Structure 1
Amino acid sequence: MPNGTLDDHLHKLRTPLSWDRRLKICIHAGCGLRFLHNETGIDSGIIHRDVKSSNILLHENWAAKISDFGLSKTCPTNQPSTYVKTRVKGSFGYFDPRYYHTGMLTRKSDVYAFGVVLLEVLCRKRAVDKTLDEDQWSLVGWVQDSIKEGKLKHITDSKIRGEISSKSLKEFVKLVDRCLQENPKQRPTMVEVVAGLENALNLQKRFIMQHAGSRTIFGKMVGMLPFVSNGEYYALGISKVSSNNSRIASNTVRADNSMFPKMKEVRAKFQSPSSSLKEYTFDDLENATKKFSPDLLLGEGDFGKVFLGWVEQNTLAPSKQGVEIAIAVKRFHLEDFQDHAKWLAEVNFLGHLAHPNIMTLGILRKR
């Protein structure tokens, strides 16, 4: 994903991100979670269990995709209150308090974590940051205290305070507050979350349109931002269905040259990984990454390292560095059964799901 992670742009690169673009990224990610929870086309929905800004990857047109399914769990889709009893795992700062204390995991646990991500997007602060004053270590606690004190603009990233419609901001904060409710039953579903984000975006677009003729900064912004007046929102489009039922994504651009193509969702089909995934040999991946060269290291986590590689566009065979298609190769070091189970979970989930806001996967064939 050429634009890296949402975490990179919010906290490391400090990339200038308009309120409009931040809302669209949130909508894309929300659509991915909505799909996992309700629309996979199989008997069970999927609880991601590790929703956070570093697991939201960004395409070159800024469309967002949910990634990293190593901790995911399935749950029945026809029983919204059903929970999965499991060991507590995830990332500090994003934990659903009810799940943390009881071990009862539900789809609403993802909703809580996504609410924290929404706060990161608004405030441009990390979920947990011990470099700040003690009363600001927890982003959720700090924001909730600030809202009680009526300091709504105080929590907003200073870079975008001047461009946000007050109505859009209030709609967004109201949605976040619902996502972070202590009682999971009081939290919205991801269907409701996406609808709320779309409403916040529409309110922002109306605000910009109303100021289009003025000589303020808002009038100057209208010509630069990909707004339309019909209430549509955008994400990565689906162009066609291939012969093996896998989904192929395309970056079609609208006639008005908007940066984001219109969302079109297709229900995925459940099938065996062998028919839906491209298989690579270990030798292929060695060649694509120059034998896992340290110069091509992208990152490292608890379970292994990720390397940059290159493959040919048509054949997907290894190609020269910097030529054809860039891929990320995750090389796990499987030291015990739990590591192996995490790897199998990620292959199983990603191998069967196709959606414009969900990362796709290739699978290694034993040599």
Structure 2
Amino acid sequence: MVRPLRADIDLEALRHNYCLARDLAPQSRSLAVLKADAYGHGLVACARALETLAPALAVACIEEAEVLREAGITSPIVLLEGFFTADELACIDALELWTVVHSDWQVEALLAFRPSRPIPVWLKVDSGMHRLGFTPPRVPALWERLAGAGAQVCDLHLVSHFATADQADTAYFQGQMRTLEALAAELEAPTCLANSPATLSHPRAHGDWNRPGVMLYGSDPLEVANAVSRRLKPVMTLSSEIIAVRHLAAGERVGYGGRWQAQRASRIAVVACGYGDGYDRHARDGTPVLVEGQRAGLAGKVSMDMLTVDITDLPEADIGSRVTLWGRAANGVVLPVDEVARYCDTISYTLLTGVLPRVPRRYHDA
């Protein structure tokens, strides 16, 4: 008998979400962003599911690209954080990778390198995110240098990242767009600008390339969902089973610190899943789960290997009942990971990427 916790990965839903992103911007090409182990879904499996659809893939670093190449993935791969040391350029050349360049030292290292073929380069503009990239006044001179380095550089693009594309208030986003549009027009430069929220809600940002990320995995990144984001399908279903049922009198408490107290005679289900599996320890009482497709709420603090759920109003629930922590239950009811994340005072990205290796992934493909 194996522990009943598992993460089911629906690769057909992954493809559906990619096609949705692609079809929103028919004049653009859409990267499939697979960084952080495909947002916790499995890097190689997701790459294989998308490689015939996506014209290029994107990861954060060379280590992730190496895993894909070793698995036989031949698609173009963009390094979104670029390279971290100059000696990585030899690997970029050997693996035929594309790279973002965001710092002066990277420009100098690239121009001093002699690749076997020119390397596709995306020049990062800091248009307002203030993490990586060059300030807009510096970009034209850098663009000219890189564009003139035909032995080292080809397919030069401008790339930037939006700080607030997910928000209903678009003022800051519009400011970033004006900056980027002016630069792209001045340099006659192709662009890659739109992340998931911009892909979903800002056609103005659709460039030569878009880079949908979390939306591929069925999470809605928008502060206010729109008609398109509601069509996303969950890719990961995290589920387990009830392994014990406790009967509590009114006034009795559950779990560490006794945070949850029964207000009536209650039935409490113990579920095989905890923060040692990646379920967020900050989940509040009432955080929703689905027990055989019916909603119930967390009761008490999450433990390392277990969590507890109030099933008083679900008399048919018992040992062996399937519990969906997020995703799609067997009866088709969906518990969005975004909803669970709000109860944990976090975002879906942290829940999806936080599912730990001891949770087995099972891949399903139509």
Shorter-normalised TM-score: what interval? under 0.3
Structure with bigger strand share is: 2
Structure with bigger helix share is: 1
TM-score (norm 1): 0.27
Higher-Rg member (1/2): 2
TM-score (norm 2): 0.27
